[in-house]
Amino acid sequence: MFLIIDRYIAKLFLLFAVSGLLTFTTLFLAVDFLSFASQFTDVAFSSLAKYYGYLLPTILYQMLPVACLMAVVFTLSQLNRSNELTALFSSGMSLARVSAPMLVLVSLLSAFSFWLGDRVLPRFEQKKNYVEYVEIKKKPGLYSAVTTDKIWYRSDNVIFNIKTLNPEKATAQGLTLYYFDDQWELMQMISASSMKIEGDKWNLLNGLVTLFVKEESFPLTQTFESKVIPMKEELGELKSSSKAADIMSLSELEKFIKRNKDAGLDTVRYEVDYHAKFGFTFATLVMAVMGIPFSVSKTRSGGLFLNIGMCIGLAFFYWALYSSSLTLGKYGAIPPFLAAWSANFLTMAGSVYLLLRLNK
């Protein structure tokens, strides 16, 4: 009998999960398309279609935790409203036992989410960035590519690479710029250990200028402590195009961090991104558990809509807590592991506490 009940509950959960995922994804695409496409009215529809085609897996990945939360709420609330939940309790099943088939499915979806985020999304993110910056925004220089331990950009006849970029602090480390003439012959190379981004001006610190003069047999070099150069790329645009963690798998990001850390560079924000890849996967299970106590309580004082509203509020609370902890981690206020996992730990602890109180 319990196997039949498990299949029934699992079927309800999957129905609501798929419906919620489709609904949230459709709403997100509709709102984002209206705001994004309105900025680029002269762009071919095929480019926009490719852009959103490559963006779709990311949206599904991001909406999966919320869809699971809503699926748990709808499933238990429907069982509660039809008194089926009372009948299950009378037959000896606990709330944990009733929730078991849903949590098993959520665990499987979490594993799928981890695979999707590690193996699929980085490749789609690279393709999306190419379409966005090359075909839509017509700024191919902002299409960043990560090779070995560096992030590469191009600005007109200047190619530059940055080992680590910290948009929050407007700083970067390990910068090298290559200046070419119209025939793409190297004229000048500037390297700096660090730099401070100040609008359209970059203040380079502790570097070396190398001039390649045709009349000279050897390049001319000169060191500097501080040098200001103009650059077209603003911090905001570099920030949006420099998400190295989004275009690398876990193994690639781990090697990226190790190489730069061995070179003595600041890799805190990349370490936060690394741990966040694990933490976000666990968020699916956390949000599902969070929905359980609120979908079977307060039935007589507001019903289904009150429970849904409370869960939506909790979902926003979770995302605010998660985003805040990541920001604190990238600023170095808390360790990277804690930054990626604190929202999960706190939310899960609160959910378990409410479940224990509910059983009493």
Q: Are residues 120 and 181 in the same domain?
A: no
* Within a domain: 249: no
Domains held by the chain: number? 2
For residue 106, what pLDDT is reported?
Answer: 96
Asked if the model's pLDDT at residue 233 lies above 50, the reply is yes
Phi, psi values for residue 318, rounded to 5°? -60, -45
pLDDT in tens, 296-309: 765 444 555 665 67
Residue 352, CB half-sphere, CA atoms under 13 Å: how many? 8
Q: Are residues 10 and 121 in the same domain?
A: yes
* Within a domain: 73: yes
* CA atoms of 323 and 320, how far apart (whole Å): 5
* Within a domain: 246: no
**Mean pLDDT value across residues 336-350:** 94
Q: Are residues 127 and 276 in the same domain?
A: yes
More confident residue, 31 or 156: 31
DSSP 122-151: HHHHHHHHHIIIIIIS--GGG--EEETTEE
For residue 241, what pLDDT is reported?
Answer: 46
Q: Are residues 161 and 234 in the same domain?
A: yes
Strands (E), the chain: 145-147, 150-155, 158-166, 171-180, 186-198, 201-211, 220-230
For residue 153, what pLDDT is reported?
Answer: 72
**For all residues of the chain together, what is the average pLDDT?**
84
* CA atoms of 239 and 109, how far apart (whole Å): 31
In angstroms, what is the C-alpha Rg of the chain?
25
Q: Are residues 309 and 189 in the same domain?
A: no
Q: Are residues 21 and 130 in the same domain?
A: yes
* Within a domain: 259: no
Q: Are residues 26 and 105 in the same domain?
A: yes
Final residue in a domain of this structure, among 225, 241, 257: 241
* Within a domain: 298: yes
Q: Are residues 311 and 226 in the same domain?
A: no
Q: Are residues 126 and 50 in the same domain?
A: yes
Prediction pTM value: 0.78
pLDDT in tens, 14-49: 999 999 899 889 989 999 988 887 788 788 889 999
Asked if the model's pLDDT at residue 148 lies above 50, the reply is no
**Mean pLDDT value across residues 112-126:** 91
* CA atoms of 192 and 224, how far apart (whole Å): 9
Tell me the percentage of the chain whose pLDDT exceeds 70. Answer: 87
* Within a domain: 254: no
Q: Which helix (H) or strand (E) holds 114?
A: helix 95-115
* Containing structural domain, residue 204: 145-241
For residue 214, what pLDDT is reported?
Answer: 77
Final residue in a domain of this structure, among 223, 241, 259: 241
* Within a domain: 166: yes
Q: Are residues 34 and 122 in the same domain?
A: yes
pLDDT in tens, 165-207: 777 677 888 889 999 988 888 889 999 999 888 877 889 999 9
**Mean pLDDT value across residues 134-148:** 65
* Within a domain: 20: yes
Q: Are residues 133 and 60 in the same domain?
A: yes
Give ∠ CA 187-189-194 in degrees, rounded to 5: 160
Q: Are residues 292 and 348 in the same domain?
A: yes
Q: Which helix (H) or strand (E) holds 316?
A: helix 303-330
For the chain, percent helix, then strand, then coil, each to nearest 5? Answer: 65, 20, 20
